[in-house]
A and B are shown apart, each in its own frame.
Chain A
Amino acid sequence: MTGRESLAETGQDRDWEMQARARAIVAEHQGQPGALLPLLHAIQAEFGCVEPSVVPVLAEGLNLSVAEVHGVVTFYHDLRHARPGRHVIKVCQAEACQAVGADSLLAHVRRSLGVDRGGTPPDDAFTVDVVYCLGNCALGPTVMIDDVVHGRVTPARFDALADVRRRAAP
Chain B
Amino acid sequence: MSAVTVTVPRDTAALSVGADDVAAAIVAEADRRGLAVTLVRTGSRGLFWLEPMVEVVGPDGVRHAYGPMTADDVPGLFDADFLEAIDHHPLAHGPTDSIAYLKDQQRLTFARCGVIDPLSVIDYRTHGGFVGLDRALTMAPEAICAEITHGGLRGRGGAGFPTGIKWTTVREAPGPTKYICCNADEGDGGTFADRMLMEGDPFLLIEGMTIAALAVGAREGFVYVRSEYPRAIATLRAAIATAEAEGWLGEGIHGTDRAFHLHVRVGAGAYICGEETAMLESLEGRRGQVRAKPPLPAHEGLFGKPTVVNNVLTLAAVPVILAQGAAFYRDFGAGRSRGTQPFQLAGNIRRGGLVELAFGVRLTDLVHRFGGGTLSGRPVRAVQVGGPLGAYLPGDGLDVAADYETLAETGAMLGHGGLVVFDDTVDMARQARFAMAFCAIESCGKCTPCRIGSQRGVEVIDRIMAGENRAANRAVLDDLCEVMAEASLCAMGGLTPNPVRSALAHFPEDFKRPPTARAAE
Q: How far is the CB of A71 from chain B (nearest CB, A)?
A: 6
Whether the Cβ atoms of A137 and B16 lie closer than 8 Å is no
Whether the Cβ atoms of A152 and B192 lie closer than 8 Å is no
Whether A118 sits at the interface, judged by CB under 8 Å, is: no
Whether A98 sits at the interface, judged by CB under 8 Å, is: yes
Whether B266 sits at the interface, judged by CB under 8 Å, is: yes
Of A20-28, A105-113, A126-134, A162-170, the stretch lying at the interface with chain B is A126-134
A142 touching B16 in the complex, CB below 8 Å, given contacts A96-B346, A96-B347: yes
* Interface size counted on chain A using CB atoms at 8 A: 43
Whether the Cβ atoms of B286 and A136 lie closer than 8 Å is no
Of B54-62, B359-367, B419-427, B469-477, the stretch lying at the interface with chain A is B419-427
Whether the Cβ atoms of B352 and A35 lie closer than 8 Å is no
Q: How far is the CB of A135 from chain B (nearest CB, A)?
A: 4
Whether the Cβ atoms of B191 and A76 lie closer than 8 Å is no
**For residue B195, which residues in chain A have a CB less than 8 angstroms away from its CB?**
135
Q: How far is the CB of B450 from chain A (nearest CB, A)?
A: 15
A36 to B49, CA, bound (A): 41
Whether A122 sits at the interface, judged by CB under 8 Å, is: no
**For residue A99, which residues in chain B have a CB less than 8 angstroms away from its CB?**
346-348, 420-423, 426
**For residue B99, which residues in chain A have a CB less than 8 angstroms away from its CB?**
none
Whether A114 sits at the interface, judged by CB under 8 Å, is: no
**For residue A86, which residues in chain B have a CB less than 8 angstroms away from its CB?**
none
Q: Name the residue among B229, B270, B286, B442 with the largest chain A CB count within 10 angstroms.
A: B286
Whether the Cβ atoms of A40 and B17 lie closer than 8 Å is no
Of B25-33, B160-168, B182-190, B485-493, the stretch lying at the interface with chain A is B182-190
**For residue A36, which residues in chain B have a CB less than 8 angstroms away from its CB?**
285-286
A151 to B20, CA, bound (A): 13
For chain B, residues 321 to 378, give those with C-beta under 8 angstroms from any C-beta of chain A. 344-349, 352-353, 375
**For residue A81, which residues in chain B have a CB less than 8 angstroms away from its CB?**
none
B265 interface neighbour in A38, A68, A134, Cβ under 8 Å: A38
A138 to B16, CA, bound (A): 11
Q: B303's closest neighbor in chain A, by CB?
A: A33
Whether A139 sits at the interface, judged by CB under 8 Å, is: yes
**For residue B284, which residues in chain A have a CB less than 8 angstroms away from its CB?**
33-34
Whether A144 sits at the interface, judged by CB under 8 Å, is: yes
For chain B, residues 249 to 272, give those with C-beta under 8 angstroms from any C-beta of chain A. 265-271
Whether the Cβ atoms of A151 and B13 lie closer than 8 Å is yes
**For residue A131, which residues in chain B have a CB less than 8 angstroms away from its CB?**
228, 269
A96 touching B265 in the complex, CB below 8 Å, given contacts A134-B228, A138-B352, A139-B352: no
Q: A40's closest neighbor in chain B, by CB?
A: B268
**For residue A142, which residues in chain B have a CB less than 8 angstroms away from its CB?**
16
Whether the Cβ atoms of A151 and B434 lie closer than 8 Å is no
Q: How far is the CB of A84 from chain B (nearest CB, A)?
A: 14
Q: How far is the CB of A59 from chain B (nearest CB, A)?
A: 12
Q: B283's closest neighbor in chain A, by CB?
A: A34
Whether the Cβ atoms of A100 and B16 lie closer than 8 Å is no
Whether the Cβ atoms of B190 and A94 lie closer than 8 Å is yes
Whether the Cβ atoms of B347 and A136 lie closer than 8 Å is no
Q: Name the residue among A68, A133, A144, A151 with the largest chain B CB count within 10 angstroms.
A: A133
Whether A147 sits at the interface, judged by CB under 8 Å, is: yes
Please encode chain B, from 183 to 218, with 1 for each CB lying within 8 Å of some chain A CB and 0 for all others: 000111111101100000000000000000000000
A71 interface neighbour in B230, B287, B349, B418, Cβ under 8 Å: B287
Whether B453 sits at the interface, judged by CB under 8 Å, is: no
Q: How far is the CB of A73 from chain B (nearest CB, A)?
A: 10
Q: How far is the CB of B488 from chain A (nearest CB, A)?
A: 19
Whether the Cβ atoms of A37 and B347 lie closer than 8 Å is no
For chain B, residues 1 to 32, give those with C-beta under 8 angstroms from any C-beta of chain A. 12-13, 15-17
Q: How far is the CB of A79 from chain B (nearest CB, A)?
A: 6
A90 to B13, CA, bound (A): 16
Whether A72 sits at the interface, judged by CB under 8 Å, is: yes
Whether A41 sits at the interface, judged by CB under 8 Å, is: yes
Whether the Cβ atoms of B347 and A133 lie closer than 8 Å is no
Whether B96 sits at the interface, judged by CB under 8 Å, is: no
Whether A124 sits at the interface, judged by CB under 8 Å, is: no
Whether the Cβ atoms of A132 and B266 lie closer than 8 Å is no
Whether the Cβ atoms of A140 and B15 lie closer than 8 Å is no
A117 to B283, CA, bound (A): 29
**For residue B194, which residues in chain A have a CB less than 8 angstroms away from its CB?**
135
A139 interface neighbour in B13, B186, B189, B229, Cβ under 8 Å: B13
A71 to B270, CA, bound (A): 14
B49 interface neighbour in A90, A136, A138, Cβ under 8 Å: A138
Whether the Cβ atoms of A135 and B229 lie closer than 8 Å is yes
A79 to B270, CA, bound (A): 10
A79 interface neighbour in B17, B268, B420, Cβ under 8 Å: B268
Whether the Cβ atoms of B269 and A77 lie closer than 8 Å is yes
Q: A147's closest neighbor in chain B, by CB?
A: B230
Whether B169 sits at the interface, judged by CB under 8 Å, is: no
Whether B276 sits at the interface, judged by CB under 8 Å, is: no
**For residue B441, which residues in chain A have a CB less than 8 angstroms away from its CB?**
132
For chain B, residues 269 to 313, give those with C-beta under 8 angstroms from any C-beta of chain A. 269-271, 282-289, 303
Whether A87 sits at the interface, judged by CB under 8 Å, is: no
A-B contact pairs, 12 of them (CB 8 A): A37-B282, A41-B266, A76-B270, A98-B347, A100-B348, A133-B191, A135-B228, A139-B352, A140-B347, A149-B12, A149-B16, A151-B13
Known: A78-B269, A95-B434, A138-B13; 5 extra A-B contacts, CB below 8 A, are A36-B285, A72-B287, A131-B269, A138-B192, A138-B345
Chain B interface residues (CB < 8 Å from chain A): 12-13, 15-17, 48-49, 51, 186-192, 194-195, 227-230, 232, 265-271, 282-289, 303, 344-349, 352-353, 375, 384, 388, 418, 420-423, 426, 431, 434, 438, 441-442
Minimum-distance CB pairs A-B, first 10: A138-B352, A94-B189, A36-B285, A151-B16, A137-B346, A99-B347, A76-B268, A77-B269, A78-B269, A138-B48
